Amino acid sequence: MYGKCGDLDAASEVFGKLDPLHVAAWSALLGAYANSENDAVQALELYKRMQLEGVRPDSVTFVTCLKACTVEGALGDGRKVHAHIRELGLETDIYAANALINMYGKCRSPEDAFQLFSRMESPNVVSWTSVIGNFAQYGHLGRESVLLFRKMELEGIRPNLITMVAVLRACNLTDGRQVHGYVLEAGMSLDTSLGNALVDMYCKTGGVDEADVVLREMPKRDVISWNIMISGYAQSGDCKEGLRCLWRMQQDGLSPTKVTYATLLNACSSEEDLGEGKSIHRSVVDMGLDRDEVVKSFLLGMYGKCGSLEDVKRSSCEVHERNTIAWNTIIGAYARYSDHFQALRSFQQMQLEGVKADAVTFVLMLGTCSSPAHLAQGILLHDWISQLGFESIIVHNSLTAMYAKCGSLDAARKMFEEMPSRNSVSWNSLMSAAIQHGCHADAHKFFQRMKLEGSRPDEVTCISMLDACTKQANAKEGSSIHQMVVESGFDKRTGVANALIFMYAKLGDHEAARNVFDAMAERNTVSWNTILAAYVEKGLNRDAVEMFWKMDVARDKVTYVAALDACSGLAGGLAHGKLIHGYMLDHGFSNRLDTVAATALVNMYGKCGSLQEARKIFDGMLHRDVVTWTSLIVAYAQHSEIEQALKLVKIMEQEGVKVDDVVFLSILSGCDHSGLLEEGCKYFVSMIDDYGISPRLEHYNCIIDVLGRAGHLDLAEKLVDRLPSRSDSKVWMTLLAACRMHGNPERGKRAARRITLLDPSIPAAYVVLSNIYTQTQAS
């Protein structure tokens, strides 16, 4: 009685008054110690004393003693008890055998547990459940657990609820569905523990929707049930559903715990999740958990991942116990958004408060050193790291990457060569550094050396090397990397497949890009965006629009920009553009808030001739950048609305947006197409004198075309002769076209001769010249 009530001193006192050879008394006191986690070691000492006093243990004694071994994780003592059991011939006792199986499993020796189980003549449901549970808790033996469950069924042993809970821990999605089917067929009660196990299995194997169905069907749900479901949504990146789950949990009459909020806050990991994150924060306040230091740290981390740096500053002040983890969260938030200055200030404040930086702190700080201006700070951090003795491979990799990003490729190489050991991340850092500095040949050499030294390329390696082939326009090497990717099985990885699509698109092999896309088992938004952009770049605008409507994943602003760009170059594109615009509005897009996508709409409507709609979108935008202004100015200029274009330029200046050479190119192009000689010349001079913009070849070409169309061939030729870019055949082709328009063979002959000298591969010059002579003779 005293033992069961936890009064071990009273139990020991009573034990001292009993017959010292009475095994039941020893077993009772052993049990009292074994049931107390803090006193399990006393049970083992009592067992040794029992042996010294010559008391013969029975089955109950051994079961109790093995429980103590399990609590203490004392495998060595457990083996000694097993030897004693075998010596007394009790290994066949079902209770002792089951206790041994449980002890070996919990003490991380599942092989011994299985050997003992295999020798049992008639294992019962407890035996099967114990060995299934043992295998289930070790990931590499999970499959064995499922196979044992099936064998148990074949041998006619009916599993109980504990068996089901154990095997579900080891199931993949397919196995889990089969076990779930067994539960339904057997008519087993969906109690809370079994329901939680099913929900957990579905969440961990990607069947979140099925997990939610089970959760709804459970007659009784507890806090653990909801926490598992919320965690499932968090793991799948669905912050919104996780938040809805929180409201459902509260409607179920249950209060969220710190674990609930920590899980939810951890799920908010991007700028798009900030709204949900703030809603969770409000709920935290409502529940009175906003003063909890652990919850504060998770709030801080959430705001950092969601990019709300102002909230990071505010939340960091509210965390009173700022330990190393809290400071790492703060620094990590700034590092994530490349805010070197704030990260450095936080690091300095951390030192002032006497909080010790760890390896993670330095890795984060090195990550903020991302330009040549940060090299000195990076070197100081390197010296500090050396003094503190942080010599892990992660730190070395971060140093290599820091030197590369700060423009010191030689220092990055030196760091790499001095590393005592390297992993794929080390090689990837060096290859990325070489690619970043345009040393593509060196990147290929490092890649070959990596393989020779026995380091296995990973997904990042493949993506980096495909990037090198893209930038180098090396189709042959790209094809070779593709073959290696297929052989290593990385072509099944979405990120690698996306890099392949991008490479082939940039190399002009759109058929190969489409083949990779079609072969993908799973495509994400980036996959679709890449193939869409490839079609637009190739001028296959109709195909691009068709692909937009075929998309079976979420579209983002990059998708909309590509699709709207395709509409701009498509006959009848306005109708398609309006449909896409309507789709955007239906799916929560705001013309006012999203500058990039709204600019794409302005560009599409403008190029398709719907200037009124383009202006409407433009006027409704809260934020406009230079690209937005240029898009509308170009639209007006292309449709001969020069006056409107110029008015817009003045408004643009008044709002403090710098007028650049692209704006003037659009105005000059509009003057050219409209035949406005005087205006074209005026704005050409204004561009140089008033705005200090040096004309590019394209500007000169426009003004030469304006002069040529107006018949001022002599002036046009003089301008071409004086050009710093007169060695370019394009301006001479423009002059030649003007000569054809006005039937001037002599000047045309001079232009054609200059073209053939500059670029003999242009036969069109002779064709145009021949046409000029034909026109002259005909007249």
Query: Which DSSP state fits 320?
Result: S
Q: Is residue 569 part of a domain?
A: no
Q: Is residue 610 part of a domain?
A: no
Domain count, the chain: 1
Rounded to two decimals, the pTM is 0.61
Question: Kind and range of the H or E element at 239?
Answer: helix 239-251
Q: Is residue 684 part of a domain?
A: no
Distance, in Å, from the CA atom of 568 to the CA atom of 308, rounded to the nearest integer, reads 36
Helices (H), 169-222: 173-185, 192-204, 208-217
Distance, in Å, from the CA atom of 649 to the CA atom of 388, rounded to the nearest integer, reads 58
**What percent of the chain clears pLDDT 90, i.e. is strictly above it?**
17
Distance, in Å, from the CA atom of 124 to the CA atom of 130, rounded to the nearest integer, reads 10
Q: Are 106 and 77 in contact (CB under 8 A)?
A: no
At residue 338, what is the residue type?
S
The mean pLDDT of 316-344, rounded to a whole number, is 82
Residue corresponding to tokens 């010294």: 52
Q: Print burial letters for 609-620: b (CB count within 10 Å at least 16), e (below 16).
A: ebbebbbebbee
Distance, in Å, from the CA atom of 684 to the CA atom of 715, rounded to the nearest integer, reads 15
Longest dimension (CA), the chain: 138
Q: Is residue 746 part of a domain?
A: yes
pLDDT(482) > 50: yes
Question: Kind and range of the H or E element at 77?
Answer: helix 75-87
Q: Are 363 and 357 in contact (CB under 8 A)?
A: no
Q: Is residue 642 part of a domain?
A: no
Q: Is residue 732 part of a domain?
A: yes
Helices (H), 406-458: 409-417, 424-436, 440-452
Give the CATH number, domain containing residue 751. Answer: 1.25.40
Q: Are 308 and 327 in contact (CB under 8 A)?
A: no
Tell me the per-residue pLDDT of 207-224, one tens digit each, with 9 for 90 and over: 899 999 999 999 999 999
Distance, in Å, from the CA atom of 202 to the CA atom of 121, rounded to the nearest integer, reads 35
Distances (CA, A) of 531 to 151, 498, 567: 49, 9, 16
List the one residue out of 65, 58, 54 whose CA is nearest residue 32: 65
Q: Give the structural domain span for 703.
A: 696-779
List the one residue out of 48, 49, 31 whose CA is nearest residue 40: 31
The mean predicted confidence, pLDDT, of the chain is 82
List the one residue out of 615, 590, 593, 619 whose CA is nearest residue 603: 615
Q: Is residue 369 part of a domain?
A: no
Burial class of residue 469, CB neighbours in 10 A (0-12, 13-18, 19+): buried
Distances (CA, A) of 273 to 243, 531, 680: 11, 27, 50
pLDDT(639) > 70: yes
23 falls in which pLDDT band (50, 70, 90)?
Answer: low
pLDDT(371) > 90: no
Which pLDDT score, from 0 to 100, does residue 565 have? 93
Q: Are 320 and 284 in contact (CB under 8 A)?
A: no
The mean pLDDT of 453-459, rounded to a whole number, is 86
pLDDT(12) > 60: no
pLDDT(238) > 50: yes
> In 504-558, which ranges are E strands?
none
Q: Is residue 601 part of a domain?
A: no
